[in-house]
Amino acid sequence: MSAMVEIRSVHKSFGSAEVLRGIDLEVAAGEVTVVLGPSGSGKSTLLRTINHLEKVDSGWISVDGALVGYRRSKEKLYELREREILKQRTGIGFVFQNFNLFPHLTVLENLVEAPIAAQRRPRKEAEATARRLLTRVGLAEKADAYPQQLSGGQQQRVAIARALALEPTLLLFDEPTSALDPELVGEVLDVIKDLAHQGTTMIVVTHEIGFAREVADTVVFMDGGRIVEQGPPAQVLDHPRHARTRAFLSKVL
14 lines the binding site for ligand ATP (CB under 6 A): yes
19 binds ligand ATP (CB under 6 A): yes
CB of 248 to ligand ATP, least distance (A): 11
Q: C-beta of 11: minimal distance to ligand ATP in Å? A: 13
Cβ atoms of 34 and 41 within 8 Å: the answer is no
Query: Which of 23-31, 33-41, 105-113, 137-145 is the region at the interface with ligand ATP (rule: CB under 6 A)?
Result: 33-41
- The reply on whether position 12 binds ligand ATP by CB under 6 A is no
Residue 31 burial (10 A CB sphere; 0-12, 13-18, 19+): buried
**Closer residue to ligand ATP (CB): 126 or 216:** 216
CA distance 71 to 79: 9
40 binds ligand ATP, rule: CB under 6 A: yes
Q: Applying CB under 6 A, does 168 fall inside the site for ligand ATP?
A: no
Distance CA 117, CA 121 (A): 8
- Distance (Å, rounded) from C-alpha 142 to C-alpha 134? 8
Note whether 156 binds ligand ATP by CB under 6 A: no
* Among the residue ranges 14-22, 68-76, 98-106, 180-188, the one whose residues contact ligand ATP (CB under 6 A): 14-22
- Helical pair 152-165 and 107-119, crossing angle rounded to 10 deg: 20
The CB-of-43 to ligand ATP minimum distance in angstroms stands at 4
Q: Which of 11, 34, 37, 129 binds ligand ATP (CB under 6 A)?
A: 37
| Binding flag, residue 45, ligand ATP (CB under 6 A) | yes
DSSP 16: T
Q: Tell me which of 11, 42, 142, 180 binds ligand ATP, using CB under 6 A.
A: 42
Q: How many residues does the chain have?
A: 253
CA distances from 242 to 3, 27, 86, 134, 213 (A): 26, 22, 39, 42, 18
Q: Which residue in 234, 213, 231 sits closest to 221, CA to CA?
A: 231
Q: Closest CB to ligand ATP among 41 and 177?
A: 41
Question: H helices within the chain, ranges in order?
Answer: 43-50, 82-90, 107-119, 123-136, 152-165, 182-197, 209-215, 233-238, 243-252
Minimum CB separation from ligand ATP for residue 35, in Å? 8
Question: Which residue(s) pair with 176 in the sheet?
Answer: none
Q: Which of 10, 11, 36, 44 binds ligand ATP (CB under 6 A)?
A: 44
Residues in the interface with ligand ATP (CB under 6 A) total: 11
Which residues of the chain form contacts with ligand ATP (CB under 6 A)?
Answer: 14, 17, 19, 37, 39-45
